[in-house]
Amino acid sequence: MEIITITIKSSKKEELIDITQEIEKVLPSKDGICIVYVPHTTAGIIVNEGADPSVKEDILNIFDKMAPQNFSYKHLEGNSPGHVKSSLTGPSLILIVEKGKLILGTWQRVFFAEYDGPRTRKVYIKFIEG
C-alpha cells in the first residue's frame, strides 16, 4: 500500500482531534501494522481515552503547565510551547491492524494533537501487511 495522506483542520490553538475513523477508512481489510506520522513540528499524535472529553482537557492543561506560553524561550516566533509539546507527544505511532481495524483498548482512540492552530495539517498513513 502506498502512503496515504489525510488532511486535518484544527479550529483552536490547541486541541486533540480524534482521527481513529479517518485512519480506519483508508486501511485495507487485512492484518498488519499501520504507521501514522505527523510531519509538523508543532503537532503530534497520541493514543488515549476517547470516552470522556475531560481527559483531553486534562492532558492539554498539564501540557500548558509543562510548556507555558509565558516562559523566556529563545525561539521568538511565538510557538515555542507548541514545539515543546510536540516533542512530548512525538510525531508517530505504530498500531496493530486486524481485518482493517485498529487494535485499541476499550476506551482508546487515536488523536491528532494540535499545538499551534488553527491550521490545516497532514497526517501520513502507511499500512504494512503481515
Angle among Cα 75, 80, 82 to the nearest 5 degrees reads 155
Residue 6 neighbours by CB distance under 10 Å: 16
Q: What is the pLDDT of residue 26?
A: 97
- Report whether 95 contacts 36 (CB < 8 A): yes
Q: What is the pLDDT of residue 75?
A: 95
- Report whether 118 contacts 6 (CB < 8 A): no
Tell me the domains of the chain and their CATH numbers: 4-129 (2.60.120.460)
Q: What is the pLDDT of residue 63?
A: 98
H/E stretch holding 69: none
Grid coordinates representing 129 are 501487511
Tens of pLDDT along the chain (130 residues) come to 799 999 999 999 999 999 999 999 999 999 999 999 999 999 999 999 999 999 999 999 999 999 999 999 999 899 999 999 999 999 999 999 999 999 999 999 999 999 999 999 999 999 999 9
Which has the closest alpha carbon to 69: 36, 125, 9, 116? 116
- How do residues 76-104 score in pLDDT, each as one tens digit? 899 999 999 999 999 999 999 999 999 99
Q: What is the pLDDT of residue 1?
A: 72
* pTM check: above 0.85: yes
Q: For residues 85 and 115, what is the distance between their CA atoms, to the nearest angstrom?
A: 7
